[in-house]
Amino acid sequence: MPHNQSVQERVTALNTRYKHHGATSVLEHALRDAEVGKTALVSSFGAESVVLLHLVSIIDRQTPVIFIDTEMLFTETLVYQQELAERLNLKDVRIIRADRDQIFTHDNESLLHLHDPDACCHLRKTLPLQNALDGFDAWITGRKRYQGAARAAIDFFENEDDRRIKINPLAHWESKDLQEYIAENRLPRHPLVAKGYPSIGCAPCTTRVNDGEDPRAGRWRDTSKEECGIHYVNGKLVRAGGTGSGNGGVAA
């Protein structure tokens, strides 16, 4: 939809307007505020995804939900995605995958993740998502400040390279808030959580997490990689004020 203000001007105004609001209020307004525009939820259907999916199902279950099937996910994730979408009665779940020709050209043997995980994430996650978000003014993520590193200072609304708005309704939630919400609403948990996977990505690049470790320690273990790339533009992390520094590739 056309807007009279730039993305940055809208982000600044939205963060000011909803600064003291809670997650539900931010999400409700984001899905209806003309300054936000056409919005989709991008979900990994991972360890904590059920919270945001449940909130969206209550507010507007017609909201487009984009799920990136990298074709390297755990079987448990694929089954959970189908069961959860049906249970929450989500009306517009869009399962996207990488272009077949691109996979054949760049990762025909599905081994790219072994020698260039950034390139693998770009091929199987970032590019498909960029294509899927074409035509949307904004997208909703499940990132939280408590996850640390590049996420420690995120706001409710961010400017994604002056192209669209990124919305983080759960930015200020802590892990205990998520667990309490799941329990109070009797929501089904991802089956791998009970097996020691508090953060879940693609099967080849995700390991169990030991007691006392950071919840994301099992993602790209023993490498410098911390994010998958969907929150980066030209190698830089998207922040509320525009694009910040960063290199690497993020799971929503």
Q: Is 87 exposed, middle or buried (0-12, 13-18, 19+ CB in 10 A)?
A: middle
Residues in the chain, total: 252
Whose CA is closest to 45, among 74, 14, 10? 74
According to DSSP, the β-strands at 232-233 and 236-239 are antiparallel
> Measured between alpha carbons, how far is residue 94 from residues 18, 49, 169 in Å?
29, 16, 21
φ/ψ of residue 39, rounded to 5: -130, 145
Residue with tokens 């939900």: 65
For residue 245, CA distances in Å to 6, 10, 196, 236, 249 come to 22, 22, 32, 5, 12
121 is catalytic: no
Give long-range contacts, CB 8 A cutoff, 24+ apart: 190-197: 190/45, 190/46, 190/47, 190/49, 190/50, 190/76, 190/77, 190/80, 191/76, 191/79, 191/80, 192/47, 192/74, 192/76, 192/77, 193/47, 197/47
The CA distance from 193 to 61, in Å, is: 25
Tokens of 92: 């517009």
The catalytic residue among 120, 202, 205, 228 is 228
Q: Supply the residues annotated as catalytic.
A: 228
